[in-house]
Structure 1
Amino acid sequence: MYKRKIKPLEIDDVEIIDYDKTKKAIKAAALGNAIEWFDFGVYGYVAYVLGKVFFPNSSPSIQMIAALATFSIPFIFRPLGGLFFGFLGDKYGRQKILAITIIIMSVSTFGIGLIPSYETIGIWAPILLLIVKIAQGFSVGGEYAGAAIFVAEYSPDRKRGFMGSWLDFGSILGFVVGAGVVSLITFAVGEAAFIDWGWRIPFYLALPLGLIGLYLRHSLDETPTFQAHSEEQSQLKKPQKVGFKQILRDHRRSLLVCVGLVLCTNVTYYMLLTYLPSYFSHNLGYSENHGVLIIIAVMVGMLFVQPFVGMLSDKIGRRPFVFAGSIALIILSYPAFLLLGTNNVYLIFLGLLMLALSLNMLIGIMASTLPALFPTEIRYSALAIAFNISVVIAGLTPTITATLVETTQNIMVPAYYLVICGGFGVITAIYLKETANLPLKGAKPMAVDTEEAEELLEQYHDNIEQKIEKIDQKIEELQEKRDHLAKQHPDID
């Protein structure tokens, strides 16, 4: 790896961010994320219909598991998409790749609505569904990592948590809109018509949403951080190239922390937003709309909590929220699922609220924490790889949970699953280094104005002094040990 020529950091080295561009970046990134989760919301709520349309010859239990499996299998292809788009994003820029991923993602989601039923084309129906979901999974492999990086590299250091929280605000909003659209269409056309043709309409909506997202992303400039990195690379005789093996060797801890945080967050996400609708109707025997409307209400509440968590993390740090969210999963998951089975609307709402708040604490800081783990030159590729490896495991949550519940006939299996997930979260929090209010690795400090730039510079210098003091203290300790050992040897002074 090349070594940069280091000079003292001065006030002119602090990047002053154009706040209007930051807002546009957030809108463009959040809309793409909203489309991704719009599909997840729709798919989760029409899984029972897709089972009947594409797997009509199976029992209701097998239909549901098969539909959820079709949701989960494409996750295996996400690391390939992450690897492909990640390295392109580090080479050619974040903006270009995000424009490509949103096209593939919206077109593939739209394509689900075009696939004929099993009765029309036989076995080709589920095969085409799987192919379209694989294409979708491949594009999504580069979507979230790129969007999180795009927002992080456009955000001032002291507001990165708040800015990043809007990315997953888009996730929750996309899910709520998807679930709401399904409920609205079901109510408007009736259950029979929805199963016959109405389920296709929500998937058609992904195309116009994707075109809007493409327009927003295409109109944005490349991030200031990547532009500065590109200029630095252009001045070198031999531009830096970092291979996959080097990333694994030099950034193992950051990769593992990324995997742990994403795993804990997304298992909870998929359990709450994708699996529970089918769990309510199939395992608890509630009507299709009974649990759906309650989940939508809880998700709307999460929308208001999300930015608050991000903003608060800029004040007290990201680690406290990872600890709090993970411990909440360990303590609250079992009682929450007991409440879900009471058939009492208020108690079901309380149970969902407990799970949702646990999720909010984790997802509220994820988009600001993950990009800060890696330096600019490998940020996209390293994050995309680690993120999507975790998502492969997390994406199997609905299928594994449904299968375990059917096999064991124990409806508390999802609670045990989340308790284990919370344990991984606590371990991750222990190894996570605090990133709040600090510059991104390999990037200049970023501020909204000159006054904040001066404060950041002072804080940056104080941080360096603290690190030097710790190093000096360590040197003194090592020197004492060296002297102690030297005294025991006749030939060493």
Structure 2
Amino acid sequence: MTTSTPAQREDVNVVDPRQVKRAITAATIGNLTEWYDFGVYAYLATTIGKVFFPSSSTTTQLLATFGTFAVAFLVRPLGGMFFGPLGDRVGRTKVLAATMIMMAIGTFCIGIIPSYETIGIAAPALLLLARLVQGFSTGGEYGGAMTFIAEYTPDRRRGFFGSFLEFGTLVGFILGAGTVALLTAALSEQDMLSWGWRIPFLVALPMGLIGLYLRLKLGETPAFAKHSEERAQDEKRTKREEFRFIFVENWRAMVACVGLVLTYNVACYMFFSYMPTYMSVELKSDISDTESNLLQVGVMSAMLLVITFIGRLSDRVGRRPVLLAGAGSMVVLAFPALLLIQVGTTASAFAGLLLMGLMVVFFAATMTSALPALFPTEVRQGALSISFNVSVSLFGGTTASVMTALIAVSGDLMWPAYYLVAAGVIGGLAVWRIAESANKPLKGAPPAVEMGEEPASER
């Protein structure tokens, strides 16, 4: 065990608060970088369409742009199947360092690809390649980061500390949206098309290097360190046996994880990735792209103010009630939110986006502590990464493309509301199937407490 790993007292992990803060910072900055990229790509969708997919039809450009966005999600399960079990074998820290630098390089490369006008069909091909690198690395990033934070934090505050991972998501999106808004306001449309759109992608490399440095400074999580000691004394499983243990003995937990992630990601990508395009292209709203971006930044800033409080609330009342509140809000508020956005005024659009933000924040604050608790230590990162990324690939990254296609075919502008309601119902069923995990040790791990605190069993 490394010197940076929190001390263990008999069968209890005693957590050093300073180490917890370092672990949260290291995990969060990777999530920040990932979602900064996704935010930039979503907010620059129309510009990217013109640069890489020249066409007389805006809808065709958007479908091609969001299709490239979605293709990266198709390889996320492959990344999860590679990096997840690898993290269970060689350690959480090593895998998180690898995914961090891959993600940063992939994002940076998008910023240096010549336009279609310059190199023809090679331009969208290279864009697709960069997105595939991002998708593969992200397949190991988020599940690994959730596992890392969950295994580093004390049982009684796991919800609060876990919510900082999604705090990083919101900061990343705000940085992405804010950067695009500033560039759009400062540069002419021609300057944005020729070189301005590249700047946000180039910034990702130094951000990634900072994240890599922070992650390499940390030791392994206490739960994994203890598991490694026990595993060294036993005969190691073959890869085939590991996958059998994941898929056969943990399939119920994986199905529940897929359902929860489906619900969260439909709400998340509907709000973060699709709403700017929905307002500007489908509604042809009088609200400018810059104003739309600023409205989303305002909603995300409001979410930043409450997300850690909701995470703390889940430590007190439980994960299930908070997750049920999120699923219920999707069913009840989806139609009012979309109708408000369709009114087309700045005030109504902000109110509608605020309701959508409310749907997202219940899940964002709680999922990072609820999902890792579904699986035992020996397969936690693998089972979580695989089930999470299968769900994201099928239902999250495709949201924008599916909505664009459905509205184009049917002409019905209410499709986003139908989609959100269906996802909320599925989420409610998934929550009903999981056990409460708040204030309990992770499966296969001893109780984790802060210095000076007694484990729950001793109180």
Q: TM (normalized to structure 2)?
A: 0.96
Aligned mates of 1:371, 1:246 — CA distance in 2: 16
- Post-superposition offset of 1:406: 1.2
Aligned residues of 2:16 and 2:451 also touching (Cα < 8 A) = no
Aligned mates of 1:166, 1:264 — CA distance in 2: 20
Task: Write out aligned runs for 1:22-171 (5 A).
Answer: 22-171=20-169
Counterpart of 2:335, as a letter, is Y
- Post-superposition offset of 1:293: 1.1
Aligned mates of 2:102, 2:64 — CA distance in 1: 24
Task: Write out aligned runs for 1:390-405 (5 A).
Answer: 390-393=391-394, 394-405=396-407
Which residue, out of 435, 438, 441, partners 1:436? Answer: 438
Counterpart of 1:430, as a letter, is W
The DSSP-based 3-state class of the residue aligned with 1:389 is helix
1:227 and 2:225 are equivalent in the alignment:
yes
Aligned mates of 1:361, 1:269 — CA distance in 2: 11
The DSSP-based 3-state class of the residue aligned with 2:343 is coil
Aligned mates of 1:452, 1:301 — CA distance in 2: 35
Which residue, out of 226, 236, 241, partners 1:239? Answer: 236
Counterpart position of 1:481: none
Counterpart position of 2:259: 260
Q: Report Cα offsets for 1:233-256 as digits up to 9, x if no partner.
A: 1222x1345422332211111101
Aligned mates of 2:337, 2:353 — CA distance in 1: 7
Q: Report Cα offsets for 1:286-321 as digits up to 9, x if no partner.
A: 321232211110011111111011000000000001
Aligned mates of 1:337, 1:186 — CA distance in 2: 26
- Post-superposition offset of 1:345: 1.4
Aligned residues of 2:328 and 2:428 also touching (Cα < 8 A) = yes
The DSSP-based 3-state class of the residue aligned with 1:16 is strand
Aligned mates of 2:32, 2:326 — CA distance in 1: 23
Counterpart position of 1:419: 421
- Structure 2: gaps spanning 5 or more residues: 1-7
- Structure 1: gaps spanning 5 or more residues: 1-9, 460-493
- Post-superposition offset of 1:191: 2.5
Alignment size in residue pairs: 447
The DSSP-based 3-state class of the residue aligned with 1:447 is strand
Aligned residues of 1:329 and 1:418 also touching (Cα < 8 A) = yes
Aligned mates of 1:16, 1:331 — CA distance in 2: 43
1:379 and 2:380 are equivalent in the alignment:
yes
Task: Write out aligned runs for 1:437-476 (5 A).
Answer: 437-453=439-455, 456-458=456-458
Which residue, out of 187, 190, 194, partners 2:188? Answer: 190
Aligned mates of 2:336, 2:120 — CA distance in 1: 44
Aligned residues of 1:189 and 1:198 also touching (Cα < 8 A) = yes
- Post-superposition offset of 1:58: 4.2
Counterpart of 2:266, as a letter, is V
Q: Report Cα offsets for 1:152-183 as digits up to 9, x if no partner.
A: 01000000000100001101110110010011
- Post-superposition offset of 1:11: 6.8
Counterpart position of 2:250: 251
Aligned mates of 2:345, 2:277 — CA distance in 1: 18
- Label 1:284 to 1:234 Cα distance change in 2 as closer, same or farther (>3 A): same
Aligned mates of 2:140, 2:10 — CA distance in 1: 34
- Post-superposition offset of 1:285: 1.3
- Label 1:230 to 1:67 Cα distance change in 2 as closer, same or farther (>3 A): same
Aligned mates of 1:433, 1:31 — CA distance in 2: 30
Aligned mates of 1:324, 1:279 — CA distance in 2: 26
- The farther-off stretch of 11-20 and 369-378 is 11-20
Aligned residues of 1:257 and 1:428 also touching (Cα < 8 A) = yes
Q: Report Cα offsets for 1:197-251 as digits up to 9, x if no partner.
A: 1000000000000000000000011111111111111222x13454223322111
Counterpart of 1:458, as a letter, is E
Q: Report Cα offsets for 1:429-477 as digits up to 9, x if no partner.
A: 1101100000000001000024333xx2236xxxxxxxxxxxxxxxxxx
Counterpart of 2:419, as a letter, is Y
> Percent of pairs identical after alignment?
49
Aligned mates of 1:365, 1:153 — CA distance in 2: 15
Aligned residues of 2:185 and 2:290 also touching (Cα < 8 A) = no
Q: CA RMSD, aligned part only?
A: 1.2
Aligned residues of 1:233 and 1:240 also touching (Cα < 8 A) = no
Aligned residues of 1:11 and 1:457 also touching (Cα < 8 A) = no
Q: Report Cα offsets for 1:117-174 as digits up to 9, x if no partner.
A: 0010001111110011001100000000000111001000000000100001101110
Aligned mates of 1:451, 1:173 — CA distance in 2: 32
- Post-superposition offset of 1:24: 0.5
